[in-house]
Amino acid sequence: MVKERKRKIYSDVTQGDVGLSLWRLSLPSMAGAIFLNLFSLVDLFFIGRLGYVAVAALSISGVILAIIIMVGLGLSTGTTALIAHYIGKKDYDAADNVLFQTILLSVVCSIAMLLLALFATEPILRLFGATKEVIDPASRYLKISFSFSIFIFLFLALNHALRGSGEAIVPLKMLAVANILNIVLDPLFIFGFWIVPKLGVAGSAVATVISRAVGVALLLRHLFAGKSSLHLHRGMFKVNLPIMGRVIRIGFFSSLEVLFRQISLLLLIRLIASFGIVTLAAYGIVLRVRMLIIMLGFGMAGATAVLIGQNMGANLSQRAEESGWKALRYYEAMVLPAALALFLFAPNIVKFFNNQPEVINTAATFIRVTAFTLPFLAMAVILGRGIAGAGDTVAPAWVAGIVQLGVRIPAAYILALTAGLGTIGIWLAFGLSDLLQGAIMVSYFKSGKWQARHHRHREILESDGFILGGGAG
């Protein structure tokens, strides 16, 4: 018999002012998203001191490592959607059950990544055009990251689970702790100090693994303590295949969306690498700067997904739709001045990471192209990830696939090689795909088809015997 513990219930986002609820959830989520992105930015800052070859190694391995993040985000999206649904219904025991199934799935995925670490890092790097001087440091970085991927999976899953329940402050605190630790450990393992050996690029992977492991330990302690909106206890340690299947089904299309994005980036790596190691280094820098802006959107979109998911769970579809449009307006108000700053100060931003004149010139051009299309990228991020909270991850996945693989890749090769625009052609292809993806997602959100998909999703969740829930425990 499990001892009854007091459950901490957060304010109901299905009632009151939508804007206030959105900001209450999104501010910690946006700060958390920035903290999450700081892992890669801090790595880039210190690795940049080793030279542009090291930056190129980090760039190509970072794109490949994003496959882990892709799977982790997929599981997290499925978890967020289901937990938000059950919290909206006040079925807290069912929400707990979803959390435990996600932990089991995280363990399974990490075992698969361990096999890649043992047998496939160098072949993967060669497949995507890594040069001889880049393969060795990139391979050591990937072996460490793949081997300890369990901490990436659990860190993402536990953070998103708590956010899906409406608990935003604790995940933010854990991200802050992990980032502070990463900032301290990065220079120690990269450059070496006292008894700590100099590991170079691989040192950043070691620092990140340790930092996330500490974050996971703190999150598990919080969940087992019984003071959270979600509870973990020994009495719930049972496999629930229907829930696992639903998390995977929702998460699959979310992962597929990220996979399409990563495939487009990996296919472009071969084209970019053909222009030389300077262009590859510039590409890695700009991707991280671009991701910093997008991560703010991911924070706002995560809050939007919770509001949409909980309100759809409570049968408040009009309030759910209002949440999406308000979130988009708020995020655009942040993106426009950020885009202006990127355009005006592009060279200075690049200098912060690398002072090679060739890298600065190449990267600054890409940043300025990105600045023009950020408002459209905002539409895709907020609305695409927002409707994931209602269980619709299918439409955003197919839109991403069509635009990023069907438009971005051909356009990049045509503009860069056939039209003779070189690297500028690649950057313009990025901008064109961002514009199209944003416009399509606005049209889809207006159509209301995502709500119809939610109702089918709801029927499955409420079918007899689907989950051992049963109330507002």
Q: What pLDDT digit, counting tens, does each position of 309-359 carry?
A: 878 877 788 888 888 899 999 999 988 998 999 899 988 888 887 778 888
Kindly state whether residue 277 falls inside one of the protein's structural domains.
yes
Closest by CA to 250, choosing from 93, 89, 85, 115, is: 85
Give the pLDDT band (50/70/90) at residue 445. Answer: very high
In this prediction, residues 140-167 reach a mean pLDDT of 85
pLDDT tens digits, one per residue of 59-98: 777 777 776 677 777 777 788 778 877 877 777 778 888 8
Res. 411 pLDDT band, cuts 50 70 90? very high
Q: What string of DSSP letters covers 212-254?
A: HHHHHHHHHHHHHTT-SSS---GGG----HHHHHHHHHHHHHH
Q: Which residue matches tokens 């536990």?
A: 158
pLDDT at residue 466 greater than cutoff 70:
no
- Any domain includes 422: yes
CA 215 – CA 35 distance, rounded (Å): 12
The model's confidence at residue 214, banded by pLDDT at 50, 70 and 90, is very high
- pLDDT for position 94: 81
**Domain annotation covers residue 68:** yes
Domain that holds residue 144: 18-461
Alpha helices in 314-419 (DSSP H): 317-344, 346-351, 357-386, 394-403, 409-413
Report pLDDT for 302: 79
Q: How many folded domains does the chain comprise?
A: 1
Residue 10 belongs to some domain of the structure: no
- pLDDT 10s digits, 114-153: 887 777 778 878 776 667 778 888 888 888 888 888 898 8
In a domain, 6, yes or no: no
Cα–Cα distances in angstroms (integers) from residue 247 to residues 10, 234, 361, 451, in the given order? 24, 21, 44, 19
Q: Is 375 within the bounds of a domain?
A: yes
pTM value is 0.69
The answer to whether residue 4 is domain-embedded is no
Instruction: Answer yes or no: is pLDDT of 418 > 50.
Output: yes
| pLDDT surpasses 90 at 440 | yes
Give residue-wise pLDDT tens across range 314-324.
778 888 888 88
Task: Report d(CA 417, CA 425) in Å as an integer.
Answer: 8
| Residue 182 in this model has a pLDDT that exceeds 80 | yes
Taking the CA atoms of residue 116, residue 117, residue 122 and residue 127 in that order, the dihedral angle to the nearest 10 degrees is: 30
Rg (CA), the chain: 22
- Residue 193, helix vs strand vs coil: strand
For residue 447, give both structure tokens: 């159509």
Residue 223 falls inside a structural domain: yes
